[in-house]
Chains A and B, each alone.
Chain A
Amino acid sequence: MNKKNKRKMIFANKIHREIFLLILMASLLPSLIITFSLYYLIFGVTATQFAFPEAIAYNIIPAARKVRMILLASFPTSILLILTLAYKITHRIIGPFDRIIRELDECIEGKKERHIRVRKTDKFWPLVDKINKLLDKCKK
Chain B
Amino acid sequence: MQKPKFIYILIPALLFFFIYYAYAYNLPKRFLFNKENALQEWQEKIFKNKVLYVVETTQEGGYLSARSEKACSGLLYKISFNTKKSPMMSWYWKVKEFPEKNISAKKEDGWIEKDDYAARVYVVFPSWNFMNIKSIEYIWDESIPEETIMTSPYFNNIKLIVIESGRENMDQWVFEKRNIYEDYRKAFGRAPSSVGAIALMTDTDNTLSTAEASYKDIQVGYRDE
Contact = CB atoms under 8 A, between A and B. Distances in A.
Interface stretch (A54-62, A93-101, A104-112, A127-135): A54-62
Given A44-B130, A56-B133, A51 B43 contact: yes
B132 to A, nearest CB: 11
Contacts of A52: 45, 47, 74, 76, 122, 124, 199, 201
Interface in B194-209: 197, 199, 201
Interface string A29-47: 0000000000000011001
Interface stretch (B24-32, B141-149, B154-162, B169-177): B154-162
B134 interface: yes
Contact of B76 (A51, A54, A58, A61): A51
A36 to B, nearest CB: 11
Category for how many chain A residues contact B: 10 to 19
B134 A53 contact: yes
A61 B124 contact: no
A53 B157 contact: yes
Q: Is the interface of B mostly helix, strand, loop or mixed?
A: strand
A39 to B, nearest CB: 10
Interface string A1-40: 0000000000000000000000000000000000000000
Interface of A: 43-44, 47-48, 50-58, 60-61, 64
Given A52-B76, A53-B122, A55-B47, 12 more contacts: A51-B45, A51-B199, A52-B45, A52-B124, A52-B201, A54-B152, A54-B154, A54-B155, A56-B130, A56-B155, A57-B152, A64-B131
Top 5 A-B residue pairs of the complex, sorted by shortest distance between their CB atoms: A57-B155, A47-B130, A57-B154, A53-B135, A54-B154
25 contacts: A44-B130, A47-B130, A48-B130, A51-B43, A51-B45, A51-B199, A52-B124, A52-B199, A52-B201, A53-B122, A53-B134, A53-B135, A53-B152, A53-B155, A53-B157, A53-B158, A54-B154, A54-B155, A54-B158, A57-B152, A57-B154, A60-B130, A61-B131, A61-B155, A64-B131
